[in-house]
Structures are given as structure tokens and as C-alpha cells.
């Protein structure tokens, strides 16, 4: 027998999908639900969360790491004008955000600039590369986009450091999230410069999933 309260004042509505997620530990679920119950303008930090629950600071830190690893939480480091760490901005999800690694990879022809023209100085940079062609196919940009050459140059530089599949998966993920968020950023502001937003997001995601995440490794209460 289950006894439920009829009163619906001061309740937090939670998705059953979260409650039934077997990939997330019970303590992590409890912390996430507690965070979701707080006001949107609540100032999140490890110490702040420790002050409203029974668990220790180390336990909260470990649970936050678990929520990050399961795509329920993103913590972005905020720094002052001298580059010193100030705090974390928390982006909390009731359901896990899409995982880049799960993105399907269709066949895609990669432009070979050497085959287009043996003289590199005569290569038409307005022709879309394989990556740029995929952005066009998905309706992210048009084939007449005035910044087409910028996308080509961006991909040409990235493929020197990252492999094709990784670049494609990250690009696909960013496009998907921008569409889901109706072309608004993480702070619900309209994205006015689509190319620079895409470029920044792509580079950051590539660095993140190749474990170049030194800016994300700090404990918000241990940095002075």
C-alpha cells in the first residue's frame, strides 16, 4: 500500500525516465532531484549543495562527477579577466542530453582538393568540402551561404588534428542541439553569429571528447 499526499503545493515534477535510469546510482538520482527542486537562480556549488543535504563535500563532488559522466550535468568554468577561476556555471538536465558517441555516421564523400586542381593556388574555396556539404544537406546552411569558405577552412584545419568520424559526429551533435534549442544558446539567448557559435562549439566538443578537458577538472570550492 502506498500513501500519497493529495496536496499538490510545493511539489517537484520529475520524469519517470530519470527515476528508472539504471545507469545512474540512487544517490546520484537523489542529488539530481534535489537540484531540480531548487529555484532556477539558485547559486550552485559543492559547498552550497553540502549545506542542504546530509552527505559530505567529497560525496557531493563524486556524485556531481557521476552526473556529468551520465550527461545529466554540464559545469562550465567562469574566469575573471586575468584568467583566474571564479566559479562554475551549472547546466542541469532532467533527462540526459544526447551523447555525441551515439550519433550515427552515414557515408559522406570527402572533397579531395588535390583532385580538384593540381595547382593549390587555383582551388575554388567556395566549393563545399565533404563536411560543409553535409551541413548543407542537413539544412544548417545553404549552398550560397556567404560564409561557405569559412566552414571549408575550419574543417580543413580541424582534419589536420582530428579524424573524420570524430569531426562528423561532433558537427552532427551541435546541429541537432541547435535545432532542439531553436537556435538559442545554453543561456536561452538567440544565436546571432551562427558560424562562430558552431566553430566554438565544435572545437570545444572535440577537445572534450579527446580528454583535453583541463578547464573542467577543478573543484569549484578548492580554487582560490
Report if residue 136 sits inside a domain: yes
Give residue 24's pLDDT. Answer: 93
Give residue 118's pLDDT. Answer: 42
DSSP result, 65-116: HHHHHTTSEEEEEEE-TTS-EEEEEEEE-SSPPPPGGG------PPP-HHHH
In this prediction, residue 3 has a pLDDT band, given cuts at 50, 70 and 90, of low
In this prediction, residue 14 has a pLDDT band, given cuts at 50, 70 and 90, of confident
Pick from 27, 62, 97: which residue ends a domain?
Answer: 97
Distance of alpha carbon 187 from alpha carbon 171, whole angstroms: 20
Distance of alpha carbon 56 from alpha carbon 147, whole angstroms: 51
Stated pTM of the model: 0.47
Residue 115: how many other CB atoms lie within 10 Å: 7
Is there a single domain that holds both residue 203 and residue 106? Answer: yes
Distance of alpha carbon 71 from alpha carbon 66, whole angstroms: 9
Is there a single domain that holds both residue 159 and residue 61? Answer: no
Could you give the number of structural domains in the chain?
Answer: 2
Q: Supply the Cα-derived Rg of the chain in whole angstroms.
A: 22
Amino acid at each position: 500500500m502506498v500513501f500519497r499526499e493529495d496536496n499538490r503545493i510545493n511539489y517537484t515534477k520529475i520524469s519517470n525516465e530519470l527515476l528508472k535510469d539504471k545507469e545512474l546510482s540512487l544517490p546520484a538520482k537523489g542529488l539530481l532531484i534535489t537540484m531540480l527542486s531548487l529555484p532556477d537562480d539558485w547559486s550552485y556549488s559543492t559547498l552550497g549543495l553540502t549545506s542542504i543535504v546530509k552527505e559530505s563535500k567529497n560525496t557531493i563532488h563524486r556524485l556531481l562527477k557521476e552526473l556529468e559522466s551520465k550527461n545529466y550535468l554540464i559545469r562550465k568554468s567562469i574566469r575573471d579577466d586575468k584568467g583566474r577561476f571564479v566559479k562554475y556555471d551549472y547546466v542541469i538536465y532532467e533527462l540526459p542530453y544526447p551523447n555525441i558517441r551515439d550519433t550515427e555516421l552515414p557515408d559522406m564523400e570527402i572533397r579531395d582538393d588535390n583532385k580538384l586542381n593540381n595547382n593549390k593556388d587555383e582551388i575554388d574555396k567556395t566549393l563545399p568540402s565533404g563536411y560543409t556539404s553535409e551541413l548543407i544537406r542537413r539544412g544548417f546552411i545553404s549552398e550560397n551561404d556567404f560564409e561557405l569558405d569559412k566552414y571549408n577552412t575550419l574543417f580543413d584545419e580541424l582534419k589536420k588534428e582530428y579524424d573524420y568520424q570524430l569531426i562528423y559526429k561532433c558537427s552532427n551533435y551541435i546541429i541537432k542541439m541547435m535545432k532542439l534549442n531553436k537556435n538559442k544558446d545554453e543561456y536561452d539567448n538567440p544565436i546571432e553569429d551562427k558560424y562562430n557559435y558552431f566553430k566554438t562549439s565544435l572545437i570545444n566538443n572535440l577537445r572534450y571528447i579527446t580528454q583535453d578537458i583541463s578547464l573542467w577538472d577543478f573543484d569549484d570550492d578548492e580554487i582560490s
